[in-house]
A and B are shown apart, each in its own frame.
Chain A
Amino acid sequence: MRHVPDLKSERGIALAMAIFALVVIGAIVAGTVFAGRLEQSGGQNTIYAGQAFAAADAGLASTVAGWSKAFNQLADHDSLAVTETSLGGNAYTSGEVVRVNDLTFLVRSVGETRTSSGNVLATRMLGQLVKLNPTDVDIQAAVTARGTVTVGGNARVDGHDQDPSGWASCGSLTDLAGIRTNDTVQVSGSATLNGSPPQTPWDSTITDSMFAKPFDDLAANADISLGAGSYNGMVPSYTVSTPVKCNKANTSNWGEPWMGTSFPLCTDYFPIIYRNGDLDLQNGRGQGVLLVRGNLRIRGNVAFTGLIIALGQVESRGTGNKISGALLASNAELGDETTFIGNPVVTYSSCAVSKALQASAKVIPLASRSWAQLY
């Protein structure tokens, strides 16, 4: 009979050693895999951080290049959010524009890299200091014109620098000439000229480009483009829906130049109004920059604060026309067939011009140190 071995007595160490070896080798392999995984994660994090940085940088460039005039209307220390944009590859940029003071803004841009489910993997914040860069307009008189300027009736042209009634001062005042032209100035009736000096006729420094260059620069950025016809009754207006805002969609709303009136929400609205042809105006008020490629005829009771550039002739007739700021015309005829009864026709205001140009201005980075890492 064959002997059946007693299994319990056949004890050895092979199985124990094999298990021990497997555990040790497994631990080493696991450690190596873990180290490799750590390495991979470190590398990925570097990539995510780089993507977030690039996204933030792209956001900065985009905000500055596509500068919105809504930013120009911010009060000091107020901010306006920049809408989040997807840049593809799970990279996103958002941010805000903070108005630092009357001239300077801080653009903050946040770049993020996210997972496909939206979890944030890396964030970087960059900033750029930018400064308003208004269009350069050579203003050295209340009225600057090419050709003969006729001032009659009770018209007044005043080159003494004055802030518009009720406006906070913009700074120091510098008087300019009343009228500056490359031709003659004809004064008749009870018209008066004031300024330093009241008039500068035969000014050979006046050239076409003084009118055309700023005209084209500003027209390219117009807020309101007017069709042909006569415009009567320009007044500020508000939106109907709440919250109530200045109604910038209304082309008859040219801002509110009168402080303390019923449209305070429109006092910061300085539109660029552009007419590609002749323009007739009567009754109403507005502020900003008025650009007329043809002749501008002001028929009466029009109050405008800011800058007017007309490449054709300017006629101001009737009563109650008031221009506070500066007027540039290639040929100007200022006068009236009735009277102005002591009301100034054109009063130079550096503050009005400055506000109008700044409101429509683009921005440029500060001369140096404009770019900053905000972390």
Chain B
Amino acid sequence: MPMTRNQRGFTLIELLIVMVILGVVGAAFVSALTNASKVSQAQAEKSGMQSNLRAGAGLLPAELREINIDGSGSDLVSISPTSITYRAMRRLGFICDAPSAYQMVLRNTDSYGLTLLSAPHDSLVIYLEGDPATTTDDIWDVFATVSTASGTCPDGAAATVVNLPGSKAVPTSDLRYDAPARTFEDMTLSIYSSDGRWWLGASSNGATMQPVLGPLAAADSTFGFRTADGTVTTTPSSVRVIEAVLHGETTNAISKSGYDTRRLNQDSLKIRIRLRNAP
């Protein structure tokens, strides 16, 4: 049978040339894909890390700037370069009635905060006016809580009745009608290690530390404390400014220009928090 031009196959040389070309193109394609994937992954990791740090920029001031320090004491219970234990204010309300020295009635309206009072987990700090003609005897006093129930104010408004333990009585003669009250829980923020990584963790009333932000590069993540004139202090009652340096790192190692191997990428954030209730 006669062979036409259309029926001729490829020569070995032609096939080799095609295979080489395909190999080069394929290698370039795979390389491009790999690089794009690395860039994308690195971008996602960095984005996650920076998002974490931004969360810290929102969380720490919100938690710490309401801390009160006055002549009667400090909401800062203990401080260290890696840990802060403090009274975290959770709600503002007003006491419309005090049937006894161990029972406070909190008005439900004009009540502000993200969480409701949870007894006995939360405590109360109550404003005691004393002599209205002077401000020198005005104090906020702290009381534990036992339980809560629904109730009403003397004017019929809906309220929450808070029962206090019998160990400490509220001096009702110093309590003014609709006196302000704050609820708080004891919180600890700590730079701590878990599963081989470092985190900013939070613990309420001594419960197990839970991570709220991270992972962090432990060595450079610290808390600092300064007085009003900027002097470093370790005395809780002298603190007026809290500094936090959060040194975040990516969850996974990523390629970084200038390095042959993949490494954890790091970034840092420094926050200065002026305590608003500390003169």
Interface residues of A (CB under 8 A from B): 3, 6, 9, 17, 21, 24-25, 28-29, 31-32, 35-36, 38-39, 42-43, 46, 49, 76-77, 98, 100-104, 106, 125, 127, 129, 131, 133, 171, 364, 366-375
Instruction: Provide a sorted-by-A list of 24 A–B residue pairs whose CB atoms are within 8 angstroms.
Output: A21-B29, A24-B33, A25-B33, A28-B36, A31-B40, A35-B43, A39-B51, A100-B110, A100-B180, A101-B177, A104-B180, A366-B138, A367-B138, A368-B68, A368-B70, A368-B72, A369-B89, A369-B125, A369-B180, A371-B66, A372-B112, A373-B62, A374-B113, A375-B112
B176 contacts the other chain (Cβ, under 8 Å)? yes
Contact B178 A35 (CB under 8 A): no
**Besides A101-B177, A366-B138, A373-B89, 16 new A-B residue pairs in contact (Cβ under 8 A), listed by A number:** A9-B6, A21-B33, A28-B37, A35-B47, A46-B58, A76-B177, A100-B94, A100-B178, A106-B110, A129-B180, A131-B135, A133-B135, A366-B180, A369-B68, A372-B66, A375-B114
Determine the distance from Cα of A368 to Cα of B112 in the docked complex, in whole angstroms.
Answer: 18
Contact A371 B47 (CB under 8 A): no
Give the residues in chain A near B70, CB-CB below 8 Å. 367-368
Name the contact of B36 in the complex, choosing from A25, A35, A76, A131 (C-beta under 8 A): A25
Contact A374 B33 (CB under 8 A): no
| Closest Cβ–Cβ distance, residue B106 to chain A (whole Å) | 13
Please name the residue on chain A nearest to B129 by beta carbon.
A103
B240 contacts the other chain (Cβ, under 8 Å)? no
Give the residues in chain A near B50, CB-CB below 8 Å. 39, 42-43
Interface centre among A3, A32, A43, A129, by most B CB within 10 Å? A32
Contact B89 A35 (CB under 8 A): no
Give the residues in chain A near B262, CB-CB below 8 Å. none
Contact A36 B33 (CB under 8 A): no
Please name the residue on chain A nearest to B139 by beta carbon.
A367
Label chain B's interface by main secondary structure: mixed
Contact A369 B62 (CB under 8 A): no
Please name the residue on chain A nearest to B46 by beta carbon.
A39
Contact B36 A36 (CB under 8 A): no
Contact A104 B176 (CB under 8 A): yes
| Closest Cβ–Cβ distance, residue B109 to chain A (whole Å) | 8
Mark out the residues of chain B between 108 and 127 whose CB falls within 8 Å of any chain A CB in the assembled complex.
Answer: 110, 112-114, 125, 127
B168 contacts the other chain (Cβ, under 8 Å)? no
Assuming the contacts A24-B33, A103-B129, A373-B62, asked whether A42 and B180 have C-beta atoms less than 8 A apart, the reply is no
State how many residues of chain B have any CB contact under 8 Å with chain A.
Answer: 49
Determine the distance from Cα of A35 to Cα of B62 in the docked complex, in whole angstroms.
Answer: 27
Contact B277 A127 (CB under 8 A): no
Give the residues in chain B near A101, CB-CB below 8 Å. 176-179
Contact B110 A364 (CB under 8 A): no
Assuming the contacts A36-B43, A38-B47, asked whether A373 and B129 have C-beta atoms less than 8 A apart, the reply is no
Contact A76 B138 (CB under 8 A): no
B23 contacts the other chain (Cβ, under 8 Å)? no
Assuming the contacts A3-B5, A35-B47, A366-B180, asked whether A372 and B36 have C-beta atoms less than 8 A apart, the reply is no
B140 contacts the other chain (Cβ, under 8 Å)? yes
5 tightest A-B contacts by CB?
A374-B112, A368-B70, A28-B36, A371-B276, A101-B178
Give the residues in chain B near A375, CB-CB below 8 Å. 112-114
Contact A28 B40 (CB under 8 A): yes
Give the residues in chain B near A369, CB-CB below 8 Å. 68, 89, 125, 127, 140, 180, 182, 277
Name the contact of B277 in the complex, choosing from A46, A76, A364, A370 (C-beta under 8 A): A370
B16 contacts the other chain (Cβ, under 8 Å)? no
Contact B277 A371 (CB under 8 A): yes
| Closest Cβ–Cβ distance, residue B36 to chain A (whole Å) | 4
B263 contacts the other chain (Cβ, under 8 Å)? no
Assuming the contacts A101-B178, A371-B276, asked whether A366 and B57 have C-beta atoms less than 8 A apart, the reply is no
Contact B127 A46 (CB under 8 A): no
B15 contacts the other chain (Cβ, under 8 Å)? no
Determine the distance from Cα of A98 to Cα of B129 in the docked complex, in whole angstroms.
Answer: 18
B32 contacts the other chain (Cβ, under 8 Å)? yes
B39 contacts the other chain (Cβ, under 8 Å)? yes
Determine the distance from Cα of A258 to Cα of B46 in the docked complex, in whole angstroms.
Answer: 73
Please name the residue on chain A nearest to B92 by beta carbon.
A372
Interface centre among A31, A46, A372, by most B CB within 10 Å? A372
Determine the distance from Cα of A9 to Cα of B29 in the docked complex, in whole angstroms.
Answer: 27
Determine the distance from Cα of A17 to Cα of B26 in the docked complex, in whole angstroms.
Answer: 10
Give the residues in chain B near A373, CB-CB below 8 Å. 62, 65-66, 89
Determine the distance from Cα of A21 to Cα of B37 in the docked complex, in whole angstroms.
Answer: 13
| Closest Cβ–Cβ distance, residue B244 to chain A (whole Å) | 16
